Structure 1
Amino acid sequence: MSLVASACDAVDMVVPEDVGDGSIQMRACHDNGIELNGTRFNGTRFNGTWFNGIRLILAQLVEGTTKKSLTGWSLVPGTSELQAWSSAGELLRGDELVGARLHWLVDDGKQQQEVKVRIAGVTQSWDRPDIYFTDLDVRFGDGAWESLCTDGEGEPTEAIVVPGYFDAQTADWLPGEQGELAVACRGTAAGKCLEWGYRMWAKQGGISLADHYRACTRMVRADYCGNNVSHTENGTVIDVSDGLSPAILEPETDWPIEAKWGPHGAVCLNQPRKLSHSRAKVIAECKAAGRGSLPYCNQSEPGEHGGLLMSQALPS
């Protein structure tokens, strides 16, 4: 199975669009019910303030003049679908929560801030039914409501709510121990890897995909050293594959192998995908970050040196 992670708001649109601010809208067409073949476009965006973890303080479902308190927030096991209990004892899930108003305590790694959030819509992915896209609006103080997530053009887009949280310094996804939830916006590395199929809650061939997800977020951003430093540019094309059985993504080109990836970054490296970054310079950076040296990649399978994913690229 393969897909394009590019700008696909229109059904027949498969080419990424440079929006002039260093961002590219990169979105797979799962919600349109279309599966497209082709290599994948990477980018540099990962996460922002919202993604390190959120804690729910108060929640109500507003229905006309009726307000129901909502408690027991969690994800339906094995999915990214939200669920909660109402004060009337009802278990509400997915689009039954549209209209809910929430007060979140958000930790951006530096300070905590209380914000108001509302659920504006919930849509189930067509080809990955365990993924739910949640429209989340946010408001600070008495300001206007605005979308929590925006694409490269600044237009509203959906979020995927995930278990756990993202470490503020390393950008590593962690499962959490107290029912934490985090948000992955579509088009970022955090969201794109989920849509490609590497859902941290899922298994493939009996193998947990949590580490494949971590490896994918490193790979998309060319975070070779696993220190949250990107070495790529938006719109750079890479060919992605894994060694799973059955594979989620398989090679589509005969391009040179760039690197193989584990949860903490590259496990071997040839020429980085951007010629502005030499192999020697990246290896020096990794040594400075305590990763040690990176060997060359020689074999054509992702599993060399313990890799989980493999990226191929035409250096540019």
Structure 2
Amino acid sequence: MRTLTLASFLLITLYGLVFPHTAIGAGGRLRADGPELVLSLDDGRVLRGDDLIGVRLVLAGPHGKTQVQIVGFAEDTTATGGPIPLYSLSVSASDGPSDNFCRPDSRGRHAGFPLPDGSGGFNFTCTSGAEGKCVLMGYRPWEIRDGVPMRDLHRACVHMLRADYGGDDRPTTRDGTSVDVFDRFGIQKSEKLDGMQFEAAWGPDGAVCVAHPRIAQNVTLERLAERHPRLADRLGPKSCSLEMMQPEPRALLFNHSFP
């Protein structure tokens, strides 16, 4: 794949924020059809895409409720696997002007889309975040493909982008860090830059092995061994290489980075 420059991992996804089933003043039900928002009104109309501009919603999260409005709609036609609908949201503020719900991504877009949670609901993720980036790279957790564990691939991708080696929500990457991402299913293929070296193999629970930490100032191999005993004998280039990991079924995704 093309080399990615990572945006701030702290701003990638708004965990726990979900749309309620009823839109304010709409008299209907809101659902996610894959990454697309669909509003079915009580009068029989079904709103999608541009027709949703102007609709106000309530996001219910751990810190209370936030009222937002859909102010724009577009499609990312460059996304791997087909177009992804993108929604721009503004946050209503009682004491000042409205603000963008999403931080800008590398293309300057303040946009996002719903991610189905597998149980009938969904979270909203931004294109500036790891969850959103991984979907745009082709790892679509709602899709079912024979022999391709899409949900596990998406989880592995999120851990990889964050350099969350233990899979325990302790990211160690840094803004502006370039990585080359590829997987065993050919959804993304390696386009390693000169000087990059094999960093790690990844599964849904984090790294399967680590050849070198992405940002040595943030974490060392010794520290990883202390934090994550399961990785203790799979650290360093002698214990972690692409050749060693290709036969390993737990290793779904791989990456190169600059040492």
Same fold? TM cut 0.5: yes
- Residues in 1 aligned to 2:15 and 2:46: alpha-carbon distance in whole angstroms: 26
**Shift of residue 130, structure 1, vs aligned partner:** 4.7
**Shift of residue 142, structure 1, vs aligned partner:** 5.3
- Cα deviation per residue 1:41-80 (whole Å; 9 max; x = unaligned)? 23441457833131416424xxxxxxx624221112xx31
Aligned residue identity for 1:307 = A
- Cα deviation per residue 1:129-168 (whole Å; 9 max; x = unaligned)? 4521111111144543211001279x7610121112xxxx
Cross-structure match for 1:222: 163
CA contact (8 A) 1:200 1:211 kept: yes
Superposition pairs of residues 1-316 of structure 1, within 5 angstroms: 2-3=1-2, 39-47=3-11, 50-56=14-20, 58-60=22-24, 69-76=26-33, 79-107=34-62, 111=63, 113-128=64-79, 129-141=82-94, 143-151=96-104, 157-164=110-117, 175=118, 177=119, 179-204=120-145, 206-244=147-185, 247-253=186-192, 255-276=196-217, 277-287=219-229, 291=230, 293-295=232-234, 296-300=239-243, 302=246, 304=248, 306-315=250-259
Cross-structure match for 1:8: none
Aligned residue identity for 1:92 = L
**Shift of residue 280, structure 1, vs aligned partner:** 1.5
- Residues in 1 aligned to 2:35 and 2:125: alpha-carbon distance in whole angstroms: 11
SS of the counterpart of 2:51?
helix
- Change beyond 3 A, Cα 1:137–1:187: same
TM-score, normalised with respect to structure 1 = 0.71
CA contact (8 A) 1:40 1:239 kept: yes
- Residues in 1 aligned to 2:36 and 2:146: alpha-carbon distance in whole angstroms: 23
TM-score, normalised with respect to structure 2 = 0.85
How many pairs were matched up? 248
- Residues in 1 aligned to 2:7 and 2:232: alpha-carbon distance in whole angstroms: 25
CA contact (8 A) 1:104 1:117 kept: yes
**Shift of residue 205, structure 1, vs aligned partner:** 5.4
CA contact (8 A) 1:242 1:302 kept: no
- Residues in 2 aligned to 1:248 and 1:74: alpha-carbon distance in whole angstroms: 28
Aligned residue identity for 1:181 = F
SS of the counterpart of 1:261?
strand
**Shift of residue 194, structure 1, vs aligned partner:** 1.0
Unaligned ranges ≥5, structure 1? 4-38, 61-67, 165-174
**Shift of residue 193, structure 1, vs aligned partner:** 0.9
- Residues in 2 aligned to 1:204 and 1:119: alpha-carbon distance in whole angstroms: 32
SS of the counterpart of 1:69?
coil
- Change beyond 3 A, Cα 1:303–1:40: farther
Aligned residue identity for 2:187 = I
Identity %: 29
- The Cα RMSD (Å) is 2.5
Aligned residue identity for 1:52 = G
- Residues in 1 aligned to 2:104 and 2:199: alpha-carbon distance in whole angstroms: 28
**Shift of residue 286, structure 1, vs aligned partner:** 1.5
- Residues in 2 aligned to 1:96 and 1:74: alpha-carbon distance in whole angstroms: 15
- Change beyond 3 A, Cα 1:285–1:190: same
**Shift of residue 265, structure 1, vs aligned partner:** 0.6
CA contact (8 A) 2:12 2:131 kept: no
